[in-house]
Amino acid sequence: MDEVRSTTAWVASHSSHVNIDSLEIEKVVDSMQGNIPVVEWDFEKIHYFDNGPLTVQYMFVLDALNFCFWPDKDLNYDHFAMGLKEALENDKSALDADHLQTYTGPELRKMLKWPRPLPSEEERVRLLHEVGQELERSFGGEAANLVKSSGNSAATLVKLIARHFPGFRDHALYKGRQIFLYKRAQIFVADLWGAFKGKSFGNFDDVNSITIFADYIVPAVLRQLGVLKYSSALCKMVDSDMEIVPGTEEEVELRACSIHAVEKMRELIKKKFGKQVLSIEIDLWLWSYGVRIPTLPHHRTLSIYY
């Protein structure tokens, strides 16, 4: 996770299109007196939970599919969370490793009760197959065994996921440097931590090593709060719903600067108020803030990483 922090800090210090406003960060922190609004994990009550290994399997499959909903304006994360939940409630073997390896696009749609092709449907099916194959090959078919092999370390779990599952290798090249972001691998850790309330499969000794999960919503909220300032050209691209190509300077800066801005926010809270706040907690607050404003303009990039 040090790689995520150091490389995104480097992007922020060399950014051409996105600027972090430290004065606005201080205003946000002071306005809350260092108290990040508490948002309960699964505040919408949309996830499957049985307090056991099947929940871990559910979370890993869900996070493998958790990307790029915006091309279909009617589709969002909730459809996937609730669709997989209902599939498991009807058939406990629905997400078994051998089943994951055989799903087709129409079968995935049927499981989610979605009436038309999904955005990046072929990629989603490929990633399901990848997850099923590698879970079967290396972890006895169970994501719970993947988690156990981390030794209660969030950072180790992220490394294991990136090592074994190519679809989670959320890297980018920026001005000749490799930048590490790991959105979906980190959000799996956060989902476990939230679902199991820091116990059992959600017990990580270094959960504070996790950064925020750089997606579409968080940069948009940070912009709304004044923390992120966009160049005029980037403002035009975002506000006009222009597609931003993955791997471009603009796209990498939006994500990397979001991560670094929240790290600066955490540091300021600790310095001014003596409180150790988790990035997971800040991310959950920012995300819940953003999803309540459906008109909030966000950048649009076709990607399997977020």
Question: Which residue from 237, 287, 230 is spatially nearest to 66, judged by alpha carbons?
Answer: 287
CB 113, CB 83: distance < 8 Å:
yes
Output the DSSP codes for 113-139.
T-SSPPTTHHHHHHHHHHHHHHHHHHS
Give me 247's structure tokens. 């791997």
Question: Which residue from 274, 158, 276 is spatially nearest to 210, judged by alpha carbons?
Answer: 158
Q: Which of 215, 239, 241, 283 is catalytic?
A: 215
Residues in the chain: 306
Give me 96's structure tokens. 């078994």
283 a catalytic residue: no
DSSP letter, residue 179: E
**How far is residue 229's CA from residue 234's CA, in Å, rounded to a whole number?**
10
**How far is residue 62's CA from residue 47's CA, in Å, rounded to a whole number?**
10
CB 289, CB 52: distance < 8 Å:
no
Bridging pattern class, strands 18-20 and 171-174: unpaired
Question: Given the structure tokens 């056991």, which residue do they identify?
Answer: 52
Non-local CB neighbours of 223 within 8 Å, separated by 6+ positions = 229, 230
In our burial notation (b when 16+ CB lie closer than 10 A, e otherwise), range 193-229 reads: bbbbeeebbbebeebebbbbbbbbbbbbbbbebebbb
Give the active site residues: 215
